[in-house]
Amino acid sequence: MKAMLAVWNDLDETVLDEYETWYQTEHLPERLAITGFEAGVRTESVPNAGGVYPSPRFMTFYELASIEVLEQVSYRRALQSPTPRTQAIMPYFRNMWRAAAVLRATSGLACSGAWIVSIRIESDRLQFWIDQLLERPPELACRWRAYQCPQPGDPLQASPEARFRASPDQTPGAFLLIEHLRQPDADQTLREWVGPRVEASSLMRRDPVTTKVDLFVELARLDSRNLGIR
C-alpha cells in the first residue's frame, strides 16, 4: 500500500443496478488483474436518518505496490481503450474526484477497519494533519494513512476515461483515511477529533474551509490473490 488510486463520485441513480454489476463483475477484476494493483475496495457513504446518502455517495480505492504501477503499458492501455460497458456507465458519473497518490505516513494496526473517515485537503495542509495524527491520534481509530498527490499537471492526475464523463475530474492535493471497526467509533472521531482540527486548520489559513470530510463504510474488497493469476 505504498501508493493508492482513489476515486470519489456520485451517480445518476437511474443506472445504480448497472453500476453495481459493472463494478463487481467487470471493473474491479479488470483493475486487479493489472500487476501492482494489490487490492480494490469499494465503499459507500452512510445515509442520514431520512435515508439520504451524503455526497459523494461512493469512494473506491486501489492499493498499489508503487505509484509507478500507473505508468505501465497495461494500465494505460486500459484507460485509453475502456470496455464497452465502461464507456456506457461513465457518462452517469457525477461529482468525480480522482487521486493518484503516494503514501507519506501511516500508523496503527495491520488490519483494516470497515468504517472510514476520508479527509481531502490541499497539499500544503498535509503536514499539519500528519503532525496532529502523530501527536494525538484518534483514540478509537484502528489505522490511519496519509497520501500526497502529484503536483498539478502531472500526467498521473489525468485519466483518458474522463472524456466519457459529464464534467471534468477534480483532484485533491492530498488525502487521509482514518479507519475504525465500528460506526460509533468513527462518529466520535468525526465529532471530537476531526471537527476541531478542521476549524484550527481553517483559522491558520485565514481563508474559507476547503477541507472535505466524509464517512464511508466498506461494501466490497477484492485482493489480487483472489483472482488466482499470481
The 10s digit of each residue's pLDDT in 134-167 is 999 999 999 999 999 988 778 888 899 999 998 9
Question: CB neighbours (10 Å) of residue 46?
Answer: 15
**Where residue 228 falls among pLDDT bands split at 50, 70, 90?**
low
Residues forming beta bridges with residue 120, ordered by sequence position:
175, 212
DSSP letters, 148-169, are EPPPTT-GGG--GGGGGSSS--
Residue 206, pLDDT score: 54
Question: Helix or strand or coil: residue 71?
Answer: helix
Tell me the pLDDT tens digit for each residue of 72-103. 999 999 999 999 999 999 999 999 999 999 99
44 vs 209, which has greater pLDDT?
A: 44
- Cβ–Cβ < 8 Å for 97, 168: no
Residue 205's pLDDT is what?
61
Amino acid identity for residue 148 in this structure: Q
Structural domains of the chain, with CATH:
3-227 (3.30.70.100)
Pick 28 or 205 by higher pLDDT.
28
> How far apart, in whole angstroms, are the C-alpha atoms of residue 19 and residue 89?
7
- C-alpha cell at position 44: 459507500
Q: Are strands 212-223 and 37-45 parallel, antiparallel or unpaired?
A: antiparallel
**Which residues does residue 218 pair with via DSSP β-bridges, in sequence order?**
43
What pLDDT does residue 204 have? 65
pLDDT of residue 224: 85
Q: Which amino acid is at 58?
A: F
Give me the residues paired with residue 175 across strands: 120, 147
Distance CA 90, CA 152 (A): 23
Q: Phi, psi (5° rounding) for residue 98?
A: -135, 135
Q: State the average pLDDT over residues 185-199.
A: 95
Q: What is the pTM of this model?
A: 0.94
Pairing mode, if any, of strands 115-121 and 93-108?
Answer: unpaired
Confidence of residue 208 (pLDDT cuts 50, 70, 90): low
